[in-house]
Structure 1
Amino acid sequence: MTTTADYQTTVRAKASPDALFDALTTVTGLAAWWNPATGSGVTGGELRFHMNASHPLVIHVEEATRPSSVRWTVVDCPFLPDWVGTRPTFTITPGDGDTTELFFRHRGLSEELECFGMCTRSWQHYMSSLRDYLEVGDGSPLGSPGDLARRQATSIR
């Protein structure tokens, strides 16, 4: 069996490390760039994202260390079972001047999974949405006009 690489990307934003950390760990921040959430984004917490499904995506927060690191484990995802056991990780590094760099890696999201193409296109959109939220205060979370246009263009529902 051949193992392929996990999905990963780097995003640079004109924002402080603390602002980026808050966008990844607060329900208000997460709703502004990705999806409305309930729960707690602190270490040991649990986040629930409904994502237009009857049952939520449930994420356990393995680590939330201000301002440098956030690690999640997907514990339930009825609408995308491939995600269960995968581990999205966010590493935050101060950049030059007023920029911050985010290295995002979704451990376990690889070409071996059926959802890989759809999921990587979605993460690319949401990472841009996160940058837009941090820089201009307006992201393109699930259900926003920008997200709906992307879904229509790529036939994702």
Structure 2
Amino acid sequence: MTSTADYQTTVRVKAAPDVLFDALTTITGLAAWWNPATGSGATGGELHFLMNTPEPLVIFVEEATRPTSVRWTVIDCPFLPGWIGTRPTFTITPIGSHTSELVFRHQGLSKDLECFGMCSRSWQHYMTSLRDYLEVGSGSPFGSPADRARRQVQAAGTSIR
């Protein structure tokens, strides 16, 4: 039996929905918690992320509806070809005036993909990084000391969570 369940996690952050939305759609916001990017996070835009590869991860922004949802489609991913065609989605719900709930779902990232374990742990790290960026002012994006430490632990075959 194969699983078709997509990776999904829910994060509650002490930030207004508009602030969270900006962290998901602006070049500055994305660089602060995930990875430096070029391009546009607006609906119809394209984002390019360099992640220690000669060719970038390319994401098409299917939807960026302030302040409730962001939906991407992975167009190219040289380091994880199984990601091509998958759809990371971010759904934002206000909880009071200064708190938001984020449901992150990576449609197509299922246990059927070889990278599921590594990718799940990576997304968990980056969701924590996003929360830290919004609540504390600094995240742990790709290449940061916390990210490098996490990658070393993963390479050794153990989990930090």
Give the unaligned 5+ runs of structure 1.
Answer: none
Aligned length: 156
1:102-146 Cα deviation digits (max 9, x unpaired): 000000000000110110000000000000000011000001011
Equivalent in the alignment of 1:150: 150
TM-score norm. by structure 1 comes to 0.96
Q: Secondary structure at the match of 1:108?
A: strand
Equivalent in the alignment of 2:62: 62
Shift of 1:67: 0.2
Shift of 1:153: 1.7
Cα distance in structure 2, aligned partners of 1:25 and 1:98:
19
Counting aligned pairs with the same residue, the percent is: 78
Shift of 1:96: 3.3
TM-score norm. by structure 2 comes to 0.94
Shift of 1:97: 4.7
Say if 2:136 is the partner of 1:136.
Answer: yes
Shift of 1:79: 1.0
Cα distance in structure 1, aligned partners of 2:133 and 2:28:
12
Cα distance in structure 2, aligned partners of 1:79 and 1:152:
17
Give the unaligned 5+ runs of structure 2.
Answer: 157-161
How much is the aligned-residue C-alpha RMSD, in angstroms? 1.1
Shift of 1:2: 3.1
Q: 1:1-157, aligned counterparts within 5 Å? A: 2-155=2-155
1:60-103 Cα deviation digits (max 9, x unpaired): 00000000000000000111100000000000000135210000
Shift of 1:22: 0.3
Tell me if structure 1 keeps the 8 A contact 2:16–2:97. no
